[in-house]
Amino acid sequence: MSKKNDERIKAQLAKVELLKKEVATKPRQVLETNGVIYGADGHMVNLHTVQDVDILVDTLATLRAAKTAQEEAAGILEVENYEFKWGGYAYKQWEADFKMRVAEINRGAKKKQLATIEGKLKNLVSEEEKTAMELDDIEALLG
């Protein structure tokens, strides 16, 4: 492998390292709700553990539909100062928690993607450059 390719690979590895630092720290997450939402059909979604964004989209869509329907019904019945709540929490609280969970799922996916890219790049490095990189790592450890 040419020295030029090794230099390109090292530059890409440096970019990956910067991106890894951006997603490395998990932001402190404090949910506004209890994180457990039950649908009208009794189906439960736990925001602490759900990994599928589609489930979150479907659940929030169902929640929005319920909100719209209930607010319309409150208007028809001339209920004053009606505030939609689901499971004891306001819609905005649920929405904020859903957004936080999607951001965390996306952060995890980005970490996996960067690890894959880093592995592929390291496999492309020439043996001579791999040795140099390992020596650099050892020197850094030794101070």
How far is the C-alpha of 108 from the C-alpha of 97, rounded, in Å? 17
Answer for the pair 51, 61: CB distance below 8 angstroms, yes or no.
no
- CB count in 10 Å sphere of residue 42: 6
The pLDDT, as a whole number, for residue 104 is: 93
At residue 97, does pLDDT exceed 90? yes
Answer for the pair 45, 37: CB distance below 8 angstroms, yes or no.
yes
116: number of CA atoms within 13 Å, CB side?
Answer: 6
| Structure-model confidence comparison of residues 124 and 69, the more confident one | 69
105: number of CA atoms within 13 Å, CB side?
Answer: 17
User: What is the pLDDT averaged over residues 22-27?
Assistant: 81
pLDDT bracket for residue 21 (50, 70, 90): confident
The pLDDT, as a whole number, for residue 127 is: 86
Q: What is the pTM of this model?
A: 0.79
Specify the 3-state DSSP secondary structure of 139. Answer: helix
CA neighbor of 45 nearest in space, from 63, 29, 59: 59
